[in-house]
Copies of this chain bind each other. A is one copy, B any other.
Amino acid sequence: MYTRIMEVSPWTLRSAKLEKEHKRLQESLTSLGNGYMGMRGSFEETYSADSHLGTYIAGVWFPDKTRVGWWKNGYPKYFGKAINALNFSKVKIFVDGQEVDLAKNDVAGFSVELDMQHGVLRRSFTIFGVRFDVCKFLSVAQKELALIRWEAVSVDGKTHQVRIDSIIDADVKNEDSNYEEKFWQVLDKGVSDDRSYIATQTVANPFGVEQFIVNAEQTFAGSFKALGGSQTDWQVSNSFEAEVGGTPETFEKRVIVTTSRDYQGLEAVKAAGRALSEKIAGVAFETLLDAHKAGWLHRWEIADVVIEGSDEAQQGIRFNLFQLFSTYYGEDARLNIGPKGFTGEKYGGATYWDTEAYAVPLYLALAEPEVTRNLLQYRRNQLPQAQHNAREQGLAGALYPMVTFTGIECHNEWEITFEEIHRNGAIPYAIYNYTNYTGDESYLAKEGLEVLVEVSRFWADRVHFSKRNGKYMIHGVTGPNEYENNINNNWYTNTLAAWVLDYTREALAKYPRPDLNVSAAELEKWADISANMYRPHDGELGVFVQHDGFLDKDIRPVSALSPDDLPLNQKWSWDKILRSPFIKQADVLQGIYFFGDRFNIDEKRRNFDFYEPMTVHESSLSPCIHAILAAELGKEEKAVEMYQRTARLDLDNYNNDTEDGLHITSMTGSWLAIVQGFAQMKTWGGKLSFAPFLPSAWTGYAFHINYRGRLIKVAVGKENVVFTLLKGEPLDLQVYGKDITLNGSHTAALNK
Q: Does A69 interact with chain B (Cβ within 8 Å)?
A: yes
Assess whether A468 is in contact with B575, with CB atoms less than 8 Å apart. Answer: no
Cβ 8 A contact of A476, one of B69, B548, B578: B578
How far is the CB of A65 from the nearest CB of chain B, in Å?
Answer: 11
Total copies of the chain: 2
Structural contact, A572 and B394, CB atoms closer than 8 A: yes
A555 and B467 within 8 A (CB): yes
- Chain B residues closer than 8 Å to A578, beta-carbon distance: 414, 475-476, 486
- Distance in angstroms from A35 CB to nearest chain B CB is 29
Complex contact A73–B486 (CB within 8 A): no
Contact A548 B548 (CB under 8 A): yes
Q: A419-B575, A575-B419 are in contact. Are A412 and B73 (CB under 8 A)?
A: no
A598 in the interface (beta carbon within 8 A): no
CB contact under 8 A between A73 and B394, given known A179-B179, A485-B486, A551-B468: no
Question: Known interface pairs A464-B579, A573-B394. Does A69 touch B69 (Cβ–Cβ under 8 Å)?
Answer: yes
Distance between Cα atoms of A570 and B467 in the complex (Å): 28
Inter-chain contacts of A485 with B (CB < 8 A): 486
Q: In the complex, are the beta carbons of B575 and A418 less than 8 A apart?
A: yes
Q: Considering the complex, give the chain B residue whose CB is closest to the CB of A556.
A: B467
- Residues of chain B lying within 8 A (CB to CB) of residue A418: 573-575
Per-residue 0/1 for A695-739: is the Cβ within 8 Å of any B Cβ (1 yes, 0 no)?
Answer: 000000000000000000000000000000000000000000000
CB pair B393 A549 closer than 8 Å: no
Complexed CA–CA distance, A571 and B73 (Å): 8
- Cβ < 8 Å to B, chain A residues 45-76: 66-70, 72-75
Which residues in chain A, 379-423, are within 8 Å of chain B measured between CB atoms? 392-395, 412-415, 418-419
Does A111 belong to the interface (CB within 8 Å)? no
Min CB gap A399→B, angstroms: 10
Question: What is the CA–CA distance of A576 and B464 in the complex, to the nearest angstrom?
Answer: 11
B467 and A393 form a contact (CB under 8 A): no
Instruction: Indicate which residue in B68, B488, B573 contacts A549 across the interface (CB closer than 8 Å).
Output: B488
Chain B's closest residue to A180 (CB) is B179
Asked whether A553 lies within 8 Å of B486 as measured between CB atoms, the reply is no
Interface string of A545-588 (1 = CB under 8 A from B): 00011011111000000000000011111111111000000000
Q: Closest chain B residue to A421 by CB distance?
A: B575
For the complex formed, measure the closest distance between the CB of A174 and the CB atoms of chain B, giving whole angstroms: 15
Q: Which residues of B contact A569 (CB under 8 A)?
A: 73
A473 touches B552 (CB 8 A): yes
Is A511 positioned at the interface, with any CB of B under 8 Å from its CB? no
- Encoded as 1 (CB less than 8 Å from any B CB) or 0, chain A from 167 to 208 comes to 000000000000100000000000000000000000000000
Q: Give bound CA distance, A679 to B702, whole Å.
A: 85
Q: Which residue of B lies closest to A555 (CB)?
A: B467
Q: Which of A407-442 contact B (CB under 8 A)?
A: 412-415, 418-419
A462, closest chain B residue (CB):
B579
Specify which chain B residues have a CB less than 8 angstroms from the CB of A572 in the assembled complex.
73, 394
Given contacts A552-B469, A552-B475, contact A414 B72 (CB under 8 A): no
Indicate if A465 sits at the interface (CB-CB under 8 A). yes
Q: Does A466 contact B (CB under 8 A)?
A: yes
Contacts of A571 in B (CB 8 A): 73
**Chain A count of residues within 8 A CB distance of the other chain:** 51
A574 pairs with B73, CB closer than 8 A: yes
- CA of A415 to CA of B465, assembled, Å: 26
Q: Which among B70, B475, B570 is the interface contact of A553 at CB below 8 angstroms?
A: B475
The answer to whether A549 touches B552 (Cβ under 8 A) is no
A66 to B66, CA, bound (A): 15
Point out the residue from B67, B473, B570 that lies within 8 Å of A69, measured CB to CB.
B67
Assess the B73–A573 pair: CB atoms within 8 A: yes
- Please, how many angstroms separate the alpha-carbon atoms of A465 and B579 in the complex? 12
Complex Cα distance, B572 from A74, in Å, reads: 8
**A554 to B, closest residue via Cβ:** B464
CB pair B73 A466 closer than 8 Å = no
Q: Which residue of B lies closest to A464 (CB)?
A: B554
- For chain A, residues 445 to 501, give those with C-beta under 8 angstroms from any C-beta of chain B: 464-469, 473, 475-476, 485-486, 488
Q: In the bound complex, how far is the Cα of B75 from the Cα of A70, in angstroms?
A: 13
Residues in B whose Cβ lies below 8 Å from that of A419: 575
Contact between B393 and A74 (Cβ–Cβ < 8 Å)?
no
- Complex interface: chain B residues within 8 A of A70 (CB): 412-413
Q: Say whether, besides A466-B554, A553-B475, A394 and B576 are in contact (CB < 8 Å).
A: yes
Asked if B412 and A69 sit within 8 Å, CB to CB, the answer is yes
Residues on B with C-beta less than 8 A from A476 are 575, 578-579
- Check B74 against A465 for contact (C-beta < 8 Å): no
- A576 to B475: give the CA distance in the assembly, Å: 10
- Residues of B contacting A468 with CB < 8 Å? 551-552, 555
Distance from A535 Cβ to chain B, minimum over Cβ atoms (Å): 14
Q: Which residues of B contact A486 (CB under 8 A)?
A: 415, 485-486, 578
Distance, CA A578 to CA B577, complexed state (A): 21
Residues of B within 8 A of A67 (CB): 67-69
Residues of B within 8 A of A75 (CB): 574
Separation in Å of the A545 CB from the closest CB of chain B?
Answer: 11
Residues of the B chain whose Cβ atoms lie less than 8 Å from the Cβ of A475? 549, 552-553, 578-579
Beyond the given A468-B552, A548-B548, A548-B552, could you list 9 further A-B residue pairs with CB under 8 A, ordered by the A residue number? A72-B573, A418-B574, A464-B553, A464-B554, A465-B554, A475-B549, A475-B553, A476-B578, A476-B579
| Sampled A-B contacts (14; CB under 8 Å) | A67-B67, A68-B69, A69-B79, A73-B571, A75-B574, A414-B575, A418-B574, A418-B575, A466-B552, A468-B551, A475-B553, A476-B575, A476-B579, A549-B549
Closest 10 CB pairs of A and B: A74-B573, A418-B575, A72-B574, A464-B554, A486-B486, A393-B573, A69-B412, A68-B69, A476-B579, A466-B552
